[in-house]
Structure 1
Amino acid sequence: MIIDRGRVAAALPGYALGAELGSGAFGLVLAGEHRRMRRPVAIKVMRANGLDDLAVTFDSEARALGGLDHPHIVRAYDYLEVHGLCLVIMELLPGGTLTHRRATLNPQQSCAVALAVAAALDHAHTRGILHRDIKPDNILFAADGTVKVTDFGVAKIFEGSAASASGLAGTPQYMAPEQIMAGHLGPATDLYALGIVLYQLLTGYPPFNPQQPVQALWHQHLNSPPPPPAGVPDPVAQVVLRSLAKNPTDRSASAAAFAAELAQAVTDAYGPGWAGRTGLPLHLPDPGRRALHLPPPAAITPPRSGAGSESTLPTDAPSVLLSPPAPRRGLRRLLAAGAATLTLAIITTLLLVITSAHHPPATLSATPSTTPSTTPSAGPRSEPSAIDPQPLGQPFTGHTGGVWAMAFSSDGRTLATASGDRTARLWNITDPAHPQALGQPLTGHTDGVTWLAISPDGRTLATTSLDDTARLWNITDPAHPQALGQPLTGHTDDVNSVAFSPDGRTLATGATDSTARLWNITDPAHPQALGQPLGHPGGVCSVAFSPDGRTLATGATDSTARLWNITDPAHPQALGQPLTGHLDVVNSVAFSPDGRTLATASVDDTARLWNIIDPAHPEALGQPLTGHTADVWTVAFSPDGRTLATASSDKTARLWNITDPAHPQALGQPLTGHTAEVYLALFSPDGRTLATASNDKTVRLWKIR
């Protein structure tokens, strides 16, 4: 359905409209911001005339959401019918959908998602509301990683333990037997759908093939016992299978009971403390909290209001892989001048920081937020102004050349490093004060390794090189990495940067040949080029995916950064005009965890922040960040989005308070200790550690909090 944005703007004069987040036959969803409160929102829009059934659905959704107030349920702020439009104003959830992120979740994180959804359902059920359409598309992530249940459009008020189904509503793949038969529905109906979702998260596929005809699919829901979920610990498998019982009375008595049973089963399978390791905030009813030994609700920091988005991913949780920024290296014409040390520095300059874009969500907002966000896995957090980094142990060595790039694994236990010595290395940093080399160096490139990134699921490493290629490595066992297939060829000059999309299915590379490329890596052993290269007037130093995976940012030697619409990665399109303002090479680009801000770093000795709520019309935020006295190689956001790290040829790294990104402030003194250019400063997934890499051949770790 086509809806004129002008009509929406006229209907909502108090809001600034942003990018389109989704559309369909019903209407569309837009990003927006309340002008006075500076609160980011998602705006659902449809025509009020001619589609009475859908209008009733919108009204029903608004009423249902209006009666619910829970940390794991999307918040509705307003419902309007004006100028022939129906509009639901709700919180923006930039962490994306579960559909988009499920490939990045490990089993414990998958169970944490199920616990969060169960808590949301328990809240709704105790207020007489059934959801009736629980599925991955209706489960999203807020900027701080909090799971949110959305789309109560087919919600139904019920009395007692059951409600009569008035016609079929829901999604066939997730419908309970009683729903298919248009019988009496109750809390167990939603638990059945949640069981299907959890089964799919844990195994990678649903219990019944959704590709078969609907009648055949429904027959299996009604009559066929689901196969035991392969590879799932028995205690957890039993809870999942119980939720898929044909008879509703054989399922858990309530969503709270399901949560308590699942919490205990996962604790039996993975040991105490597993929930805290997921990095996902959990707000559970008493039985589930007790099973996980979580503090009472009063001790749990409430989620920030209005931080979410009907858009997409990822979050500050370890579930979202954070690809480290890499020094930009490459452009051979830049290497032509100067001594070897200078040459290395310049090369690194062109290797941009892509990884911060993979950091999970943060709450950094392009405009000041009235309610600060929380860091999911770090517990009570201190204000950025209190940050006082302290060295952790001694610098660790092993490379025989400058360290040009780094990347943390999503669980924060492994660090990957890349060097001008033509190798990459993996390190066990479970104890960050005593890192240990894992296996042998990764060899195969015939020139310096400029950048690297780890896939969201932690199984694949990507590396790029001055040898004009990129490579993929199987690091499922990080002590025994193995090359995957042949090198990725196609670029005709130094490949300076690489990044994984949030779902891990697409790879982006940037090169000195003035192009960026996208690759389908669904099968990482057989990558395939997607569409035509993205052209730049200058060599591409850095690439980064937005948290929702719909936008690619590139930084280049022409002193600009660019944004690209890659919703269809085979047909990328430039968004608006290039971002201008830097006076020299743009070495690094990084998205904030909530996707609303872009950071850039340049050889002009500065970093900049940009408001990209509407990526087709980016705007510079405040003045450039000054303080470094030489090239700024990379920028990286903290997982909560409130702190920015920069690394420079002046041999230092710096931290900046960007809670108000229009007015950034330097935090403390520069971090010193390296004896040569610092190419990279990168936050660990939990935000407690900062890693810095230098041309002095060392890596240093710093305790942040």
Structure 2
Amino acid sequence: MAAALPGYELGGELGSGTFGLVLAGRHRGLDRPVAIKILAAGHDGAAAEFTVEARLLASLDHPHVVRVYDLVETGDLQLIVMELLDGGTLTARHRKGMSPQEACAVGLAVSAALSCAHARGVLHRDIKPDNILFDAAGLLKVNDFGIAKIVDGSGATASQVVGTAAYMAPEQIQAGRLGPATDLYALGCVLYQLLTGRPPFAAAPSMHALWEQHLTTPPAPLAGIPTVLATVVLQALAKDPVDRPPSAHAFALDLASAAALVYGQGWTARTGIGLRLDDDIRAAADHPARRISMAPAAAAAGPGPHPADAGNVDGVPAIPRPAPHPVASGRPTVMASAGAAQVAGMPAAHALPWRRRLRRPWIAAPLAAVTVAALVAVTLAIAAAMRSGSATAVAVPSRPVPLGQPLTGSTNWITQVAFSRDGHTLIDADADNTVRRWDVTDRVYPTSLGQPLAGPTALILSAAFTSDGRTAVSGGADHTVRLWDMTDRTHPTRLVPLGRPLTGHTNWVLSVAFSPDGRTLASAGADHTVRLWNVADRLHPTPLGQPLTGHTDLVLSVAFSPDGHTLASGSQDHTVRLWNVADRTHPTPLGQPLTGHTDPVLSVAFSPDGHTLASGSQDHTVRLWRIR
């Protein structure tokens, strides 16, 4: 070795394995420390692979990939001279203790390295803590592309099962078709381990038993981790590669956005881990969004104190529980008329939109106990008054009362609910990637309408009905909008997504709304835009014009006016904007943004006559605007 590397001083052993060993060294002329990887003698056919590894590493010129300085082949020696990283491995750093913020920073750095490799058609195939190193300044670098595979755009089929069992994707175990999602699965395993202290699948009696868990067993919830963050990690651990993020870059955007929501502005600087990120990922990671309370993922697993009483989660202050809603004075009545009824003296129910989604405070004090018999009697009296058209006042309790039992079945939090126009169907958008349907014709005894509508690959954040009730729409964290045929509620097999998902948003779809005639759909996203879609042909929807831009932050809500000519949008930038959409292909802004709110605008709604707009904000206020 000394003869093969006359310009280097050789040092002690840094590590060893079946490939051979790694020695420390120093370049005499440059006074640069190096690591020298030596292929062990007797590896038939390994020399060519060793050369391929060196060339792969040399081609990946990225701050988060270990640099190669030289390849030396002489006689029986094959040597790769690489930069020496003396900050230790991720394994060693994790043993000393890592915060969740540091784990997220690791995920962003490794994603950046994988993006570079995947762009050159290179899969790593062995992402694990031992192959993730740090330099003395804390800059993370991915190492050991020894079993990397070069693929073309269509992916590659594994010629043999290679990798580390605890981090291998199902398709890798089955020697199936590999792609960027294979490396993302391994990264998901690493992040799961960093956040929970254990791999997603552990304590198996044999390697084959461990593989079986990767193939068939869902990973356990990430106890104590905010749900928005846990969801990003679990998506990378999907069994089917199609259900994982479409790229390492997309995964990094989701991870950066989730971490920014949980840990607030500047969280990356507090980790001590050097990061070299693309501009859009850096912006998402350091987003100046107001820190929001996040319920731990484990909170949904069983009984316990209400999240509002749980104190801080990962340093995020809890949202205080509000005071009980005041009850209107006087005797509440039900005023019935032909085909309509109004309950007076009851406060309206408000759905808390996406931006404050995970920790929802109680809306009112616990309701007074109501017996089943009394509840049924009140309901029957109201129904009788409505059927008869009588204006006779019917006494009802002075507070809203629960109708029957809660609708259950979702395995995660509910992001939005919507009624059909006739009031007989209710849908809820769930963070378990489904839309559930309920027959609520009988309010006391609602029933489920078949299996949940599945199809999105990430949590669903918004849902709405057309005015005729024949079509529902959902938008989610997979950046897509999907249409659902709701014509026949009783045959789940017919309730399938209509056409292909609507794509174009580059971040989460946070709000959706149909025009009154049901022919136009608006979608608002975390990419700061509102998009319009022609859905007159439900099987072949098309985009209308260019995205509506102007908001400088996430667009959290969108609504059409009753005549369908005006669109309103509310944003994280504290403003409301109005748009003239009479010409759907050439929408234009109307006037200046409406300012006054001091926090994100979470919801907007038009009055029935279209002359007034209401906006609700995280600043605890509702504002009314005359827009006639």
Query: TM-score normalised to the size of structure 1?
Result: 0.40
Q: Which one scores higher on RCO, CA 8 angstroms, separation ≥ 6?
A: 1
Task: Return the structure number with greater strand share.
Answer: 1
Rg larger for: 2
Query: TM-score normalised to the size of structure 2?
Result: 0.45
